[in-house]
Structure 1
């Protein structure tokens, strides 16, 4: 005599197995999406939302490698960076700015 009762129920063992797997996969998917959002947020500046330098240069190098006719422009708000990168003086940097934007710098002494 068998001591375990086998009463027919609404859910079979296959249904319980699928439900258990679905719950685990749903939790994993939610965790993966949350982690992806956090990692993507580290690649962007929180104030402006623009790409940070390492992500920008990686993307720019990838674009330049794929497309030969692509130009990449890097704009900085730090005027001293121009002097540090190229070793130029402040007067030369102002001449470059005045030459690039003559209508905006018409009142500046040259």
Structure 2
């Protein structure tokens, strides 16, 4: 078979490989939130479940306080800048070994593996950083409430249940000056907040 014939025969295979690579890239992009660059719910859930195989995993839920007021007072551009800043700080705090997702609106979730047992200190630092004015929108003054839970405290629970516990802790954090609360080890309360978070996490 001549080189020309071989090249002609190989063209369909090359085109198919290029097409598959394009589809994979499109799928990857579709699972990213266009504003923050974080994973959307589906992409986050897939990666979070893998991380939860590690007993040292920590689940975090974050919610921007008074976000509607920020949009109404300062405009959507300021609100977008705030969301992008929160996403950046969360991603930096979690690091490359964890995962952060935007569940929708002003709600974010993360899973990190606490290898050096510093999660409480890291999250306390994160809460302080998130309370600072946003670069590019210094007039925006708000806080971000964080709730978190250790997987090892609830070894039989899945991502949905752990998000429910982090959700309850987050809403409790809204009533504290620090804006940070760890989930209790006891029974998961059947609160509206907890049920809502549980549905979001069960992708």
Do the structures match in fold with TM over 0.5?
A: yes
Larger radius of gyration: 1
Higher relative contact order (CA 8 A, sep 6+): 2
| Aligned counterpart, 1:72 | 59
Bigger proportion of residues as strand: 2
Give the 5 Å matches for 1:62-101. Answer: 62-65=50-53, 67-77=54-64, 86=168, 94-96=174-176, 98-100=177-179
2:33 touches 2:39 (CA, 8 Å); kept in 1?
A: yes
TM-score, normalised on structure 2?
A: 0.34
Cα 1:50/1:63, change in 2 over 3 Å: same
Bigger proportion of residues as helix: 1
2:173 touches 2:179 (CA, 8 Å); kept in 1?
A: no
Output the aligned Cα RMSD.
3.0
Unaligned runs of 5+ in 1: 1-12, 102-110
Per-residue CA shift, 1:4-58, capped at 9, x if unaligned?
xxxxxxxxx3434421232112211211111111100111101111001222122
Unaligned runs of 5+ in 2: 68-106, 108-144, 146-166, 181-203
TM-score, normalised on structure 1?
A: 0.57
The aligned length equals 82
Cα 1:15/1:26, change in 2 over 3 Å: same
